[in-house]
A and B are shown apart, each in its own frame.
Chain A
Amino acid sequence: MIIEDLPPCILINSYTSPWLRCYTDSEIDYKSPRFLSFGDLDCDYQPPTHIQETNALTWSAGPNPTSGVISVQTNETVVEMRLFNLTGQCLLSTTLSQEKRIDMSTFPSGLYWLQALDKQRRSLGVIKVILTP
């Protein structure tokens, strides 16, 4: 399978890769180092502000997949864009210029999250972006 063959379902599937919080059986009680790095939380922890986003996005970006530069179509409410890898690490934070283009060409190919923020730095939603070689 090559990247161009990837179906659109990859864009709407689960938020990100799953990773282990805890494992238990009759002999083992285990929390992963990654989960412990957030503190001594219960395995079924959920953030208190957990909100399911239901509103339609007021912006879009394309082409997607892209080979490097992606253009953002939006109204003036979007003032900042942030790019994340699938682990949630922020790779890029930029104020939208008049061109409203984001250059991803310096990053390795793969899947990314693109987030828009308004001037109060509130999230206006995220989309998954495929960066091709």
Chain B
Amino acid sequence: MKKILLPACLLLCCCSIFSQQEWAPIGARWVQNIGIDFDSIPVPNPLLDYYVVECTGDSMVNGLNFRKVGDYLMHQNGGKIYYWYGDSLNLVYDFEVEVGDTVNLNLLSCLGVVVTVPVKVDSVGAIVVSGQTLKRIVTTSIGPAPYWFYPDGIPTLKKLGDLTA
């Protein structure tokens, strides 16, 4: 299983600011950029490749509702988004945070072990996309090392936004 590196120095996520919107409506589709073409001389081309993550349907585990997102089952509880791994829920996004909060995300290391990654909320704002006002959260990793892994198949953003911008 491929793991995806997240240099969690800057997290930028968006969600609906006015309503408790679904994190991943069925049919939601993320196109994630991956890779840099270093053979492109003199300037590396950062658009080497991509992969697609889609929300394909619903599921239920231990009485909890899940959405199938890529290879993972995702559970939404309010503004908190979890993925199912190791027979437990692991927090991957939190859109209920306020400026100054610290939130512990549970991400996967490349050994397949869940690692707790503390991030500090730097700002909470809003942007308008397709006529919808979306919450924009910027966080900074305060962990001991900037090497974290998002589970493969989970988009690196809540709904819109770029975690590594």
By a beta-carbon cutoff of 8 Å, the part of chain A in contact with chain B is 1-3, 6-7, 9-10, 13-30, 32-35, 38, 41, 43-47, 49-51, 53, 84, 86-88, 90, 109-111, 113, 115, 117, 121-123, 125-126
Q: Which residues of chain B in 71-116 are interfacial with respect to chain A, using CB atoms and an 8 Å cutoff?
A: 109-111, 115
| Residues in chain B near residue A18, CB distance under 8 A | 4, 32-34, 51, 150, 156, 164
| Residues in chain A near residue B146, CB distance under 8 A | 109-111
Cβ B42 vs Cβ A121 within 8 A:
yes
Q: Considering the complex, give the chain A residue whose CB is closest to the CB of B6.
A: A17
A7-B111, A84-B36 are contacts. A46–B28 as well, Cβ < 8 Å?
no
Cβ A28 vs Cβ B111 within 8 A:
no
> B4, B31, B49, B50 — which one has the most chain A CB atoms within 10 A of its CB?
B31
Cβ B38 vs Cβ A26 within 8 A:
no
A17-B164, A46-B49, A50-B48 are contacts. A24–B29 as well, Cβ < 8 Å?
yes
Cβ B37 vs Cβ A23 within 8 A:
no
* Per-residue A-contact encoding for B42-82, CB less than 8 Å = 1, 0 else: 11111111111000000000000000000000000000000
How many A-B contacts at CB < 8 Å in the complex? 179
Cβ A47 vs Cβ B40 within 8 A:
yes
21 sample A-B contacts, Cβ–Cβ < 8 Å, listed by A number: A1-B115, A1-B144, A9-B3, A16-B34, A18-B164, A19-B162, A20-B32, A20-B33, A20-B161, A21-B32, A22-B30, A23-B30, A23-B155, A24-B28, A25-B27, A28-B129, A33-B165, A84-B44, A109-B146, A121-B41, A123-B41
> A3, A43, A88 — which one has the most chain B CB atoms within 10 A of its CB?
A88
| Residues in chain B near residue A86, CB distance under 8 A | 5, 7
Q: How many angstroms from the CA of A90 to the CA of B36 in the assembled complex?
A: 12
Is B120 located at the chain interface by the 8 A CB criterion?
Answer: no
| Residues in chain A near residue B27, CB distance under 8 A | 25-26
Cβ A23 vs Cβ B36 within 8 A:
no
Q: How many angstroms from the CA of A35 to the CA of B106 in the assembled complex?
A: 28
A13-B2, A49-B37, A115-B38 are contacts. A28–B31 as well, Cβ < 8 Å?
no
* Per-residue A-contact encoding for B148-165, CB less than 8 Å = 1, 0 else: 011000011101111111
A9-B111, A46-B50, A113-B38 are contacts. A1–B145 as well, Cβ < 8 Å?
yes
Cβ B29 vs Cβ A126 within 8 A:
no
A26-B27, A121-B41 are contacts. A35–B36 as well, Cβ < 8 Å?
no
**14 other contacts beyond A16-B35, A22-B29, A122-B39, with CB at 8 A cut-off?**
A1-B115, A1-B145, A3-B147, A14-B3, A18-B32, A20-B32, A20-B33, A28-B132, A47-B45, A50-B49, A109-B145, A110-B7, A111-B147, A125-B38
